[in-house]
Structures are given as structure tokens and as C-alpha cells.
Chains A and B, each alone.
Chain A
Amino acid sequence: MEQILILVGVSTLQTLLMVFFSTLFAILIGFPLGVLLNTTNQYGITPRPVFNSILSRIIDVLRSFPFVILMIVLLPFTRLMLGTAIGTTATIIPLSIAAAPFVARITETALNEVDPGIVQAARAMGSTNWQIIYKVLVPEAMPSVVSGITLTIINLISYSAMAGTLGGGGLGDLAIRYGYQRFRTGVMTAAVIVIIIMVAAIQFAGTRLTNKMLSKR
């Protein structure tokens, strides 16, 4: 029993580590790309149709890769960046790259939903494009962005279970290696329960934060 607790505890920490850093990097890469997608589209504040469609295609290609394959394709890149392609830290790279295009699309959609009249008003008052982005578009879209990022985190929890099979550790890895391959149902059950609690907690926090922002409007 004690052994199960230690196993599950270590794996939980590994999962949290993977999810936290990959979410962070996915936002750092994906959010600016989402803003670019919105501002350069036909109705955006600085339309750049050619650039927009190229960026859009790249993001679509990345998004359509099944995660397992993306992980393998990125092995050499991960090795180049970190000197190793296995272990918890190493899985953060494929996880971030898988989630970044998702964050980009979520951000783009949230920004597209901002009333064009509001943007027109900001422009008429003499805002620079940069001011429109950080003082108008992003704050107006923030509740949708937050609920989208909640979804991303939950996706990353399930992706991290897959990344575990490449030696990343974490709850998914634990469930498969101990629970499935060694027939230790107790370990598997414990791992799955922790994942369920994690997902529920994040969804709860995300919804609460979104609602809190909306209630101030």
C-alpha cells in the first residue's frame, strides 16, 4: 500500500510538472500566434492575407498530426534541444508543440468574437494597433481565452499519459506499466482516480475564473 502511494505520488508530481511547463510553453508560443492569426486576417486590424493563409496552413498541419507520431518525429529535435529525448523534461517539448497550435486557434477564435464595433471605436479614438491588441482585443476576449486554456490543460493531461510511454513517467505511464502490463489493478485504479480528480479540479477552477471575469462585466 505504501509502495502504491509512493508510486502514485511520484507519478502525480511528474504529470503536474509535464502539464505545467507544457501549458506554459504552449501559451507562450500559441497565444502570440493566435493574436497574429486574428490581426492579419481579412477583417483584422492589419490584414495580411498571404501571411495569414501560410501561418494558418502550418498550424493546421501541426494540429492534424496524431500526437504519438508527432512525438516520434520530434525526437531528434528534442535531443538537439536538451541532449536527451527521454525522461519527464524531454516530453515537455513534444507536448508544448502539440498544444501550441491548439492554443493559437483558441486565441484566434476568441479574438474573432470581439465586436468589430468596439475595435472601430478604439481605432477612431486614435489607438495604435499595439494598443488595440493589448488594451482592447485581449481584455475583451479574456474569458473565452481562459476557458479555452482550461480545455488545453485537460488535453495536455491526456497527452501526457501518452508521452509517458516514451519514458516520460507520470500517471499514464504508471497505469500502463504497473497496472496493465504487470496486472496490478490497484495501481491502475489509483492512477486513473488521480487523473479524474486532476481534470475535475482544473475544469472547476477554469470555469470559476471565467465566470468571475464575466460577472464583472
Chain B
Amino acid sequence: MRIKLENLKKYYDSIHAVDDISLDIPENTIFGIIGKSGAGKSSLVRLMSLLEAPDSGAVWYGERRVDNLPKDELIACRRKIGMIFQNFNLFSSRNAGKNVAYPLEICGMPKAQIKERVTEMLKLVGLEDRENAPISTLSGGQKQRVAIARALATQPDILYCDEATSALDPNTTQSILALIREIQKKMNLTVVMITHQMEVVRDACEYVAVVEDGKVVEQGKVKDIFANPKTKTTRDFIKNVLNDKEMVKWSDQTGKFHLHFTGKTPEKPLLSTIAKKFNVEFNIFAAGISHLPDEDVGYMNADIMGSDEEVSKVIAWLEENSVHVRKEQE
């Protein structure tokens, strides 16, 4: 289901937690919302998931405005969305299967049908043999799987993931992200992922919005944002992912230019073409590739040496070949 946010605002004691945010989230996709802690992303997800009402602005699910519903319609609407959390928030008084059964019980599904659906959901998340397991006997990854099964038991159109992988180790994070991607396709879900980890956006999301101080500072397709980040916040996030392991450095020095190769450009012999075509030389300091789900983005940090005129011709030529060039600010 398509989610539309219009000029959402929410204040807490004069703090602008959400300061005029508008977003258009297409249906059947995974949409990331990334921000540092305190950026307002948790407040934003509470508004989107109808846990709180905005001070002004509107939330639309498809053609329906949902931020101002009367109580019983609000409860009915919440039953059509799923949500998972950083701390899993499973009921410790219920075993894995009974946790999955909860959302079905509250909307009055007959017992036999609940039993069937619980089995089906646990199978979907790969925990069919743990139906009677107490929650405390499950690992973090298994807990999040149960939470996913519970969130999707009512077959909702929307799944909100509030820092869903932040408490998990890297390998478990990857397996949970893979599961979410798989289920998203299977159930045609609109998934909204709130996170502070750029890896999550890179590995799972098609679109991303970067939130800072309660505002959206940048948004678009993940591959475009990775290829050509416009704000410092976004660049910092991307830098954090790259520093992990994907950037190979030849020296501690950094060059004047950052080159971002997108689409099919990593496969073209651009640099050697330039060396033949123009009277410049390259000195490469670092380079790397980020693997996005359906496209790779290459990075290079380099000096381009030559006359100012030749250098600007090279930059223009690179931009024509869809390589984004950004000059280091001194």
C-alpha cells in the first residue's frame, strides 16, 4: 500500500521531533529512513504507524487519510499494519506460537484457523519446529523471526521495522534482512525500515530518506544516493559503510576529487580513455565498490593533475559518462 506523509509535525515540549516531513512511499517496495539517534526517526515511525497523532499534517494509506481516525477505526486500521522492533517486544508469558497467535486472537479469528495460520507463519520464517518454545530459549535472530511472523500473521499491507536489526550481530542482521526481502516479494508488502545503519539501507532498501533534526534532508533511490550523495550527513553515513572493508587505501593522504561510478560505468575503461584523450595524469589514493541489491556503485579518491582547463574538461567528460565528481572542500 502506498504511504503518503504530508507536512507532518510533532513537538515534544517545544522540541521539533518531526519538523515538516513530507514523503511519498510507493507500494510494494522497501523504503529506508536513516538518521542518527535523536534525528526524529522514531517519532516519525510512531506517527506513520498510528501510535501517535501528529500535531499537524496528514498520513495517507492509499486513498485513505488515517491520522485522524476515531478510536474504533484506528484500532481496525492498526490491525492491518505489522511492526517489528529493536528489542523484539515479544510476550514472555506466551511461547513462540502463542506470540504469533496474539494478533489473530484479538481480532476474533476462530481457534482452528489461528492454529493453521500460526504453523504457516512459523514455517515462513523458518521456525516451524519451535512453536512451543518459551521466548527466553530463543536466540536474538530467532526472536526477531518470531516477531516478524507475529507482525505478518494478519497478512497486513505494511510492515514497519523500527531499528529491527540494531540489536543483532552482523551475520544475523544479514539473515534477517534477507528474510525481510524475501517476504516483501512474496507478500507484496510495503516495508518501511527505520535505521541508523547504512549497511541496512544498502543491503535491503530500494529507496531511502535521510532524516536530520526532524527534517528529510535527502531522498531518492538508494543507488542514486550512494552514487551521488548531496549532503554531508548522507556522505558521512556512506563513508561509515565504506570504511568497513570495501574501500582499499593506498595511502593516508587523500586526493582532491571523489569519483562515484554508477550503473554500468564500473565496467568501462574510463581512466585509460581519459589518459589517451586528455593531457592529464591520475594519482589514485583509494578505491572500492559497494554492492547494492541490484547494482554496484564504485568509488575512487584521486588527484587529477594537469592544467585547470584540461582538468575541468575531464570532469565534464566524466559527468557525461555518468560518473559523479565531487571536489574535496578545503
A115 within 8 A of B: yes
In the bound assembly, the distance between CA atoms of A44 and B149 in angstroms comes to 27
With A126-B75, A139-B94, A217-B92 as contacts: A117 and B106 at CB distance below 8 Å: no
List A contacts of B78 (CB < 8 A).
Answer: 123-126
Contact A217 B75 (CB under 8 A): no
Asked whether B262 is an interface residue with its Cβ less than 8 Å from the other chain, the reply is no
Q: Is B271 in the interface zone, CB < 8 Å from A?
A: no
Residues from chain A with a CB closer than 8 A to the CB of B136 are: 217
A217 engages B134 (CB within 8 Å): yes
Query: Closest A-chain residue to B81, C-beta based?
Result: A124
Chain A positions within 8 Å of B160 at CB level: 124
The answer to whether A118 and B91 have CB atoms under 8 Å apart is yes
Q: In this complex, what residue of B is CB-closest to A215?
A: B134
Chain B window 207-218, contacts with chain A (Cβ cutoff 8 Å), 1 for yes, 0 for no: 000000000000
**Contacts A115-B89, A140-B92 given; does A135 touch B105 at CB 8 Å:** yes
Is A3 an interface position by the 8 A CB rule? no
Report if B18 contacts A (CB, 8 A). Answer: no
CB distance B76 to A126 under 8 Å?
yes
With both chains docked as a complex, state the minimum distance between the C-beta of B107 and any C-beta of chain A, in angstroms. 7
Most buried by B among A120, A126, A217: A126
From known contacts A217-B134, A217-B135, infer whether A126 and B91 are also in contact, taking CB-CB under 8 Å: no
A117 near B103 (CB under 8 angstroms)? no
- Cα separation A117 to B81 with both chains bound (whole Å): 17
With a cutoff of 8 Å between Cβ atoms, the chain A residues found around residue B87 in the complex are 115, 117
Contact of A124 among B51, B76, B92 (CB under 8 A): B51
The answer for the CA separation of A125 and B93 in the assembled complex, in Å, is 17
Is B234 among interface residues, defined by CB-CB distance under 8 A?
no
In the bound complex, residues from chain B placing their C-beta under 8 Å from that of A128 are 75, 106
B48-80 contacts to A, CB under 8 A, are 49, 51, 75-80
Taking a contact as CB atoms under 8 Å apart, the answer to whether A118 and B89 are in contact is yes
In the complex, residue of chain A having the shortest beta-carbon distance to the beta carbon of B135:
A217
Nearest-CB distance from B111 to chain A (Å)?
Answer: 15
Q: Which range holds the interface residue count of chain A?
A: 20 to 34
Cβ-based interface call for A81 (8 A): no
Q: Is the CB of A121 within 8 A of B76?
A: no
State whether A136 touches B134 (Cβ < 8 A).
no
Against A, the Cβ 8 Å flags (1 = close, 0 = not) of B242-258 are: 00000000000000000
Question: Is B25 interfacial (CB 8 A cutoff)?
Answer: no
- B83 partner residues in chain A, CB cutoff 8 A: 121, 124-125
Contact of B93 (CB < 8 Å), options: A124, A127, A217: A217
Q: Residues 127-141 of chain A: 1 if any B CB is under 8 Å from the residue's CB, otherwise 0?
A: 110010001100110
When distances are taken between beta carbons in the complex, the residues of chain A under 8 Å from B151 are: 125
Are A131's CB and B106's CB within 8 A?
A: yes
Question: Which chain B residues lie closer than 8 Å to A118 at the CB level?
Answer: 89-92
Q: Is the pair A126, B107 in contact by a Cβ cutoff of 8 Å?
A: yes
Partner of A139, one of B49, B77, B82, B91: B91
CA A216 – CA B95 in complex, angstroms? 8
The residue among A120, A125, A128, A217 with the most chain B CB atoms within 10 A of its own CB is A125
B285 CB-CB contact with A under 8 Å: no
A142 CB-CB contact with B under 8 Å: yes
Question: Is there an interface contact between B93 and A117, defined as CB atoms closer than 8 Å?
Answer: no
In the bound complex, what is the Cα–Cα distance between A118 and B135 (angstroms)? 13
**In-complex Cβ contact of A126 among B85, B103, B150 (8 A):** B103
Report how far A120 CA is from B49 CA in the complex, Å.
Answer: 11
How near does chain A come to B69, taking the closest CB pair, in angstroms?
Answer: 12
Q: Determine which of A123, A136, A216 lies in contact with B91 in the assembled complex, contact meaning CB atoms within 8 Å.
A: A136
Give complex CA distance A122, B94 in Å: 13
A126 neighbours in B (Cβ, 8 Å)? 75-80, 103, 106-107
**Most chain A Cβ neighbours within 10 Å, of B75, B77, B80:** B75
Residues of B within 8 A of A139 (CB): 91, 93-94
Which residue among B79, B91, B102, B134 has the maximum number of chain A CB atoms within 10 Å of its CB? B91
Residues of A within 8 A of B49 (CB): 124
Residues in A with CB closer than 8 Å to B103 are 125-126
In the complex formed, the residue of B with least CB distance to A121 is B89
Identify which of B51, B80, B81, B91 contacts A140 (C-beta below 8 A).
B91
- Chain A residues with CB under 8 Å of chain B are 115, 117-118, 120-128, 131, 135-136, 139-140, 142, 216-217
* 21 A-B pairs whose Cβ atoms sit less than 8 Å apart in the complex: A117-B85, A117-B87, A117-B89, A118-B90, A118-B92, A120-B51, A120-B85, A121-B90, A123-B51, A124-B51, A125-B79, A125-B150, A125-B154, A128-B75, A135-B105, A135-B106, A136-B91, A139-B91, A140-B93, A216-B95, A217-B93
Chain B residues at the A interface, C-beta cutoff of 8 Å: 49, 51, 75-83, 85, 87, 89-95, 102-103, 105-107, 134-136, 150-151, 154, 160
In the complex, the 6 A-B pairs of residues with the closest C-beta atoms, listed nearest first: A126-B79, A126-B78, A121-B89, A139-B93, A117-B89, A124-B83
With A126-B79, A131-B106 already in contact, 15 other A-B pairs whose C-beta atoms are closer than 8 Å: A117-B85, A118-B89, A118-B90, A120-B51, A122-B91, A124-B83, A125-B79, A125-B82, A126-B75, A127-B106, A139-B94, A140-B91, A216-B95, A217-B92, A217-B135
